[in-house]
Structure 1
């Protein structure tokens, strides 16, 4: 039997029921209804009376792509971005997937080292793999530089930065005494020393963040600060993060973001309620869910541990840079080959004055550090 045709002779495509489409796409009917609500997979037709969903055969490829991306654990907001890019710029879609997986591998490596450290602490025989992941057999150095400027709009600079051979940190104060809050937080972090064990280092960093929160409450009541700070051990970078500052790793030309913004807007992005473009322009993008303010039981810092290799470049920055300059432009400056001092100058200049007239709406601060052979 031939396909039904309209009066003009054009074949009418047979739509698939939600059950048929679920089997073809390897997605459950429940997932399809959820993706419809999020605008990720909109049915070709919805029956006006029953509300039943029907899908076109041409939608199967997109649905399978969604299924694959979800299977590797990609958040819905990033799935949406990849799907859009897949139809317009497949190369960019592939780069987005690679960048996501680089983050997953970095997080997995951090958990691997923590597990090895815990097994070592509990005692018992250790094999060569465990020994290699819990000792600092290849010490490297850091060549770093920092720069912080008031910007074109704010009357004062409430950011604070630190760049040294062992510690990198940025803090973005807010409130009437935001500058004192940021200074108090950095003073506590500067006291962290790298213990012998990986797990002990992260514990020490977490304890320092809690002390920093208490110090902020004492030095600047009613104000607060974000904090993104890392301690270098010689071949690993232990990172603590609270707020909307950011940490990035440039390795082999690829830029990987290591931190998650603790903001209301970021939660909505991860829930699939906003896309990245909507988030960047949202009026509430600076509303924090976590900060150091001396109130309550203390903040929960995100902790991470990352292997360092010669040629790696770390960037820590406040949102005066990351909220103004697109990541592609940040990557371009970091990969340009200039030293850390020239690079921080170029990044700050990019946030202050550019062709699009962004004009430095906030304090802007950044730290850049290169992993180099230890000259000690």
Structure 2
């Protein structure tokens, strides 16, 4: 049997040696022989067909976890799977196209246009937090006011005090009118205060993310009259419903999401992954906390949803979109969302804040 060194095989398959080593680790493309003394990898010419298939699928953008599944199938089944994958890519591309249009529209807003809307818009809002059907206590905190919307999902032995402290540290923003030009700086300072407050509330429970640790996520919006400033850390979420389309405007700070981003895990595999709740970021964390801060222009008719993962992990996004679209008032909507999560088993605490941007 003719053997190729990893360098020769890389050249023949158009895969880099670095990629081949990664595919070996992932058991996607194992070498035919590994030298027991040097650890050097050797491949057979018969492996070139599989290697080229892997290269082609990577060029399609297919995640490594799914490529492993496709390569294990017979040719007909693999073709069916690739067809299904590409149909999904096209559907997701359409969603990203809508998101790109949304971002272009948002970034094209001039300061004059924003000032023109300042005296014309306001928020109508509601918040609800529920223990769910399984957990013995509610460690979430949800808050909605005329200028501040917030959801925090506590964890660990002092999770409830931690989430409450995070939101309480931002409460002063609900009573002060904040110019849009200053809101991100003020919000950054407020999150630093929240980080300290959560650390104090957690007491001796340890740092977030550690064994037995206590802490909280935090996702909040601050209203300036024409814009909403977003702060986000953890895996609670913020959604925007605009013109019938639902946009997720936060990114989960979790180990599983990072694996999806790297192509090491599919979204389907993430649902059952044993580390799906393991956070990469939370409060208390480093000082200053590494939170996301962004500014969003508001349009009349926009509807915002903040929620803990007790909603997003059990209620599919199409169903969330339907409830946000079909239920008129924020108060009725938060009731419907919580009921939907509990109807799906209510495995976790669930908190929702819904706010509508309306003309005065």
Shorter-chain-normalised TM-score: which range? Answer: 0.7 to 0.9
**Aligned partner of 1:323 among 291, 313, 316:** 313
Rounded to whole Å, the distance in 2 between the matches of 1:151 and 1:142 is 28
Asked if 1:202 corresponds to 2:184, the answer is yes
Q: What is the CA-CA distance between 1:239 and the residue it aligns to?
A: 0.4
Specify the alignment match of 2:84 in structure 1.
88
TM-aligned CA distance change 1:147 to 1:132, over 3 Å: same
Does structure 2 retain, via aligned residues, the 8 Å contact 1:77–1:269? no
Asked if 1:37 corresponds to 2:23, the answer is yes
**Aligned partner of 2:112 among 102, 111, 132:** 132
Rounded to whole Å, the distance in 2 between the matches of 1:331 and 1:99 is 13
Specify the alignment match of 1:166 in structure 2.
147
Question: Deviation per CA, 1:81-101, whole angstroms, max 9, x where unpaired?
Answer: xx9987228665433113334
Rounded to whole Å, the distance in 2 between the matches of 1:77 and 1:56 is 15
Q: How does 1:1-376 map onto structure 2 within 5 Å?
A: 29-30=15-16, 33=19, 37=23, 48-49=43-44, 53-54=48-49, 65-66=60-61, 87-88=83-84, 92-103=88-99, 112=107, 130-132=110-112, 135=115, 137-138=117-118, 139-192=120-173, 193-198=176-181, 200-221=182-203, 222=205, 223-293=214-284, 296-354=286-344, 359-373=345-359, 375=360
TM-aligned CA distance change 1:61 to 1:37, over 3 Å: closer
Q: What is the CA-CA distance between 1:260 and the residue it aligns to?
A: 1.1
Does structure 1 retain, via aligned residues, the 8 Å contact 2:311–2:341? yes
- What secondary structure does 2:256 align onto? helix
Query: What's the RMSD between the two structures over aligned residues?
Result: 3.8
Does structure 2 retain, via aligned residues, the 8 Å contact 1:109–1:306? no
TM-score (norm 2): 0.75
- Unmatched tracts of structure 1, length 5 or more: 1-16, 23-28, 70-74, 114-128
Rounded to whole Å, the distance in 2 between the matches of 1:352 and 1:217 is 31
Specify the alignment match of 1:123 in structure 2.
none
Does structure 1 retain, via aligned residues, the 8 Å contact 2:125–2:144? yes
TM-aligned CA distance change 1:49 to 1:56, over 3 Å: closer
Rounded to whole Å, the distance in 2 between the matches of 1:194 and 1:34 is 57
Does structure 1 retain, via aligned residues, the 8 Å contact 2:127–2:353? yes
